[in-house]
Amino acid sequence: MPFEGPGNIMDGNFQYSSLKLRLQAIYERLNKEAEVWAEEGKIAVQKEMSIASNLQRQFEQIVENYKKNDSVTLDLELVDKNPFVWQLVLFGRPMTNLDGGMFRIKIYLSPKFPDVLPRIKFETPIFHHRVSKDGILCYDPTRKDDLKSHIEAIIEAVEEESPAYDPRTLVNPDAAKLFWGTPEEKKLYNRKLRRSVQESTE
């Protein structure tokens, strides 16, 4: 049926194979971009740019904050003393599906932060509906310019056991299908998640 009037149609063919290749090329470029941020960050530190000192200060404040917070167990350090690349090690909270797990997470920060948001990559494989098969986490910080808010949102995204359904966050289709499926499928999801938690310390 025409939308507005006769002739209002879209003819053509979808080049799915070439579209997939283009999307893969964009994805690879985005991953390389995060590595470029690390090099640009080192230069920013050498030039004593304000963004470098700002990220360093936020890192130190967050570390101090979590030293006083007994409810969350994590280690946070800079990779090669570079304030643009953070290494977060999150330990699974007791009495949850993550209990006993140890997850290494890289946080890449752009010299244009907060206009450009961080890239989060799980280096430890995990079966989770908010983490893609290649380790990309989907999360939503309440304050984009505050890295403490980013850390809190990362932890919440991974630990939350009964989130509201939001199709924008389902980056792992296989895990999402089980998590939002039947009770039996949800049990299978929990088993797969627990198995990945156990494997995280092996």
- What was the pLDDT predicted at 83? 97
Q: Give CA–CA dist 8/68, Å, rounded.
A: 63
pLDDT band at 171 (very low <50, low <70, confident <90, very high): very high
Over the stretch 122-151, which tens digit does the pLDDT of each residue have?
999 999 999 999 999 999 999 999 999 999
- Count of residues making up the chain: 202
pLDDT band at 8 (very low <50, low <70, confident <90, very high): low
Over the stretch 98-111, which tens digit does the pLDDT of each residue have?
999 999 999 999 99
Q: Give CA–CA dist 117/110, Å, rounded.
A: 7
Nearest CA to 90 out of 101, 77, 79 is that of 101
- What was the pLDDT predicted at 62? 95
Q: Give domain limits for the chain.
A: 25-199
Q: Give CA–CA dist 23/28, Å, rounded.
A: 9
Q: Give CA–CA dist 193/179, Å, rounded.
A: 10
CA distances from 13 to 2, 10, 136 (A): 19, 10, 31
- What was the pLDDT predicted at 19? 84
CA distances from 14 to 20, 32, 107 (A): 11, 28, 36
Q: Global pTM?
A: 0.86
The DSSP bridge partners found for residue 119 are 108
Q: What percent of the chain has pLDDT over 90?
A: 72
pLDDT band at 71 (very low <50, low <70, confident <90, very high): confident
- What was the pLDDT predicted at 48? 93
Range 25-199 has CATH code 3.10.110.10: yes
Q: What percent of the chain has pLDDT over 70?
A: 93
- What was the pLDDT predicted at 11? 66
Q: Give CA–CA dist 120/31, Å, rounded.
A: 10
